[in-house]
Amino acid sequence: MLETMTVMRLHRPGEELRAERIPVPEPGHGELLLEVRACGVCRTDLHIADGELAAPRLPLVPGHEIVGRVAARGPGALLYAAGERVGVPWLASACGTCRYCREGRENLCGSARFTGLDRDGGYANYAIVDERFCFPIPESYGDEEAAPLLCAGFIGYRALRMAGDARRLGIYGFGAAGHIIAQIAVHQGRQVFAFTRPGDGAAQAFARRLGCAWCGDSTAAPPEPIDAALIFAPVGSLVPQALGALERGGRVICAGIHMSEIPAFPYERLWGERSVRSVANLTRRDGDELLELAPRAGVRPATRRYDLLQANAALADLRAGAIEGAAVLVPSRAT
């Protein structure tokens, strides 16, 4: 194992990440040192890099969709063997004792810590993680394919669960999460309506290939009212837009950790027992269920590969909406 490693670090919001060499860290009690094989580029990383989501400390190594192999184990780390492949999500740890943790709602724990925000993430050759918050990766997925499942998949799945038994499902924002959840929803026999950026014919064609029943601009009215809307785009104006597309009793689920301001809208759009709610983070139950369901549903994440040193290019492409599916960083093994 190398004594130093390459990382892409954020020093100041709004500036590009810097490639640096730093010492390989040592795992503490209950921790694993992972050799990073792939790390997805999530929109939350973009919010952190752009300063829309404040990082508690800087410099910071972003990245929270990590697939890696166990390179070393700290004292008391017994869950995974050396060389075993594991995945690391956004939720890095929780207290385990508060009422939310005791009720299985660890995503709401006030002491929760997050990968690539409170602790360094996977834009690196190695990463330190709490083994209790790692997941074994299904063998049917390669490293790059598995990475987007660890946030886009997990949090998208939590949003889908909140949609209940909705048969006509609207997906606003057809990126990493949208294209994974659309595949699951189609597998479940739901009708999926994909809403994309205005004029994004490529995204609409992509959605059709994945089995969506209808595709159109985010400002368009669907051919019939929908039972639930999942909003993955961080655009507050989509909330009243989605409410206007809902059937009575329908739900709008806001699935992003950051969203622009929601504009005022007439009460008529909410009336009829329609509701709006948010998704906050994820639980380990969400991860276990998604990783069991995804192979059965035939989910194949679409990815675009970037070298670790191309992290800024990946973030720029994500910002521009130029990625079909998900961007994934892959460190060079020689560094």
State the CATH number of the domain containing residue 245: 3.40.50.720
Q: What whole-number distance in Å separates Cα of residue 255 and Cα of residue 233?
A: 8
Asked if residue 255 belongs to a domain, the reply is yes
**322 and 201 within one domain:** no
**65 and 15 within one domain:** yes
Report the SS3 class of residue 268.
Answer: helix
List Cα–Cα distances, 178 to 101, 160, 312, in angstroms.
28, 10, 23
Q: What whole-number distance in Å separates Cα of residue 239 and Cα of residue 276?
A: 8
**168 and 43 within one domain:** no
Computed over every residue of the chain, the mean pLDDT equals 96
**298 and 198 within one domain:** no
List Cα–Cα distances, 177 to 143, 151, 154, 174, in angstroms.
17, 8, 9, 7
**246 and 324 within one domain:** no
Q: What is the pLDDT of residue 332?
A: 84
Q: What is the pLDDT of residue 1?
A: 62
**294 and 212 within one domain:** no
Q: How confident is the model at residue 2 (pLDDT cuts 50, 70, 90)?
A: confident
Question: Looking at 238, 261, 278, which one is the last position of a domain?
Answer: 278
DSSP letter at 257?
S
Asked if residue 335 belongs to a domain, the reply is no
pLDDT digits over 157-204, tens only?
999 999 999 999 999 999 999 999 999 999 999 999 999 998 889 999
Q: What whole-number distance in Å separates Cα of residue 210 and Cα of residue 206?
A: 7
Question: Looking at 240, 257, 278, which one is the last position of a domain?
Answer: 278
Asked if residue 259 belongs to a domain, the reply is yes
DSSP letter at 222?
P
Domain encompassing residue 265: 156-278
Asked if residue 251 belongs to a domain, the reply is yes
- Find, among 141, 152, 31, 146, the residue nearest to 90 by Cα: 152
Q: What whole-number distance in Å separates Cα of residue 293 and Cα of residue 295?
A: 6
**Domain with 305 in it: what CATH number?**
3.90.180.10
The pLDDT of residue 151 is above 60: yes
**138 and 168 within one domain:** no
Q: Please answer whether residues 17 and 10 qualify as being in contact, where contact means their C-beta atoms are separated by less than 8 angstroms.
A: yes
What does the block give as tokens for 170?
């609207």
**184 and 245 within one domain:** yes
Question: What's the structural domain count of the chain?
Answer: 2
Asked if residue 238 belongs to a domain, the reply is yes
Amino acid at the residue 276: V
The pLDDT of residue 37 is above 80: yes
**291 and 272 within one domain:** no
**228 and 96 within one domain:** no
Helices (H), 130-266: 143-146, 152-162, 176-187, 201-209, 238-245
DSSP letter at 87?
E
Question: Looking at 259, 278, 297, which one is the last position of a domain?
Answer: 278
**84 and 60 within one domain:** yes
**171 and 40 within one domain:** no
